[in-house]
Amino acid sequence: MAVPRNKPQISALLNLLQDDDVAVASLAMEQILNMGIDAEETIAEYQEDNDPRLRSRIHQLSSILARRRARMAFLDAVKNETISLWDGLVEINMLYDPECARKTVQESVDELRNAITQESIDAPSVASFMREQEFYVAEEDVLDVDLYLLERVLATRYGAPALLCAIAQNLGTQLGWHPTVVLFEGRFCLIDRNHLLVDPTDGWHIRKLEMDAKIHPCGRKDVWLGVLSQLFLVSLVEGNLRDLYHFGHLLTSLDGKEMDVLPYPLGDDKRG
């Protein structure tokens, strides 16, 4: 096994990593994570250490490093435009919950598709199907993280409008109906080429819009930013700094900005 190149510093940080004070251990973790290849080699060397506290904190480091890599892979895919709206929502779910499996999401979608019996798929039939399957928009507990995670919304049938639109769009697209996600009166909805608007917030109600109706077609980033901003808010309310940093980094990167645009403690401390 390769030996870390900066052995004296690594040894000092490992001692701090075992400190009773969680704040001290957290600072040591931050220093190790910023050491590039030394961080990877240290994690590999000590992940099965006999000391339970050191082993636990090394596993924490491994989890943080894995999440960081996954986040960068997602952002690279967005930058290179090699990821669909649906796959992006799956990735956001997996970035928050590593236990989320792409296979599980696909199996849930396959079950829904197999349950569709209509021969002709259009706005009315998809809206009717989503009602029959009891997919509905949360009216309470809007700061529940489960509302913004695709796997959990598929399991509970209860979620945010953006996720419900994505599920209906994914099903419809597989069967020949190709709606667009839009914002209408501040809500995520679907609209098709016949200008039929499907509104999950209004019980999957359908209305025919005039050609000059004020709607905002949403690109992939618009939907992802809508979901991530809510996950950021949930993390803020819960006081979860790790998730707050995670979603703050995703939000600012997707928007082409740096973390320092965010308020303290994530960005620059401008209080003084």
- Are 115 and 207 part of one and the same domain? yes
Distance of alpha carbon 43 from alpha carbon 26, whole angstroms? 15
Q: pLDDT tier at 268 (50, 70, 90 boundaries)? A: low
End-to-end Cα, the chain, rounded Å:
48
For the record, the structure tokens of 38 come out as 């030394």
Report the SS3 class of residue 198.
strand
Q: What share of the chain is helix, strand, coil (3-state, %, to 5)?
A: 60, 10, 30
Q: Would you place residue 35 in the very low, low, confident or very high pLDDT band (cuts 50, 70, 90)?
A: confident
Mean pLDDT score across all residues of the chain: 89
In this prediction, residues 96-112 reach a mean pLDDT of 93
Angle of the 52-79 helix axis to the 241-254 helix axis, nearest 10: 20
Shared domain check, 211 and 101? yes
Within a domain: 209: yes
Provide φ and ψ at 32, rounded to 5°: -65, -45
Q: What is the CATH number of the domain that holds 102?
A: 3.10.620
Say if residue 67 is in the same domain as residue 136. Answer: no
pLDDT of residue 247: 92
pLDDT of residue 264: 65
Angle among Cα 87, 89, 91 to the nearest 5 degrees reads 70
CA–CA gap between residue 39 and residue 29 (Å, rounded): 9
Please tell me whether residues 171 and 207 are part of one structural domain: yes
Asked if residue 226 belongs to a domain, the reply is no
Q: Classify residue 97: in a domain, yes or no.
A: yes
Task: Give the CATH number of the domain where residue 42 resides.
Answer: 1.25.10.10
- Are 189 and 129 in the same domain? yes
Cα diameter, the chain: 71
Residue 37 shares a structural domain with residue 103: no
- Count the residues in the chain: 272
Q: For the chain, how many structural domains are there in total?
A: 2
Q: Is residue 233, in this structure, part of any structural domain at all?
A: no
* CA-closest candidate to residue 108, choices 150, 148, 154, 156: 154
The parent domain of residue 42 ranges over: 7-79
- pLDDT per position as a tens digit, 152-195: 999 999 999 999 999 999 999 999 999 999 999 999 999 999 99
Write out the two tokens for 108.
């849930």
* pLDDT on residue 21: 86
Q: How far is the C-alpha of 46 from the C-alpha of 36, rounded, in Å? A: 16
Structure tokens at 97: 């919950």
Q: What is the pLDDT of residue 199?
A: 98
Cβ contact 24:31 at 8 Å: no
Distance CA 12, CA 66 (A): 24
Q: What is the DSSP letter of 263?
A: P
State both tokens at 219: 């690109």
Give the pTM: 0.84
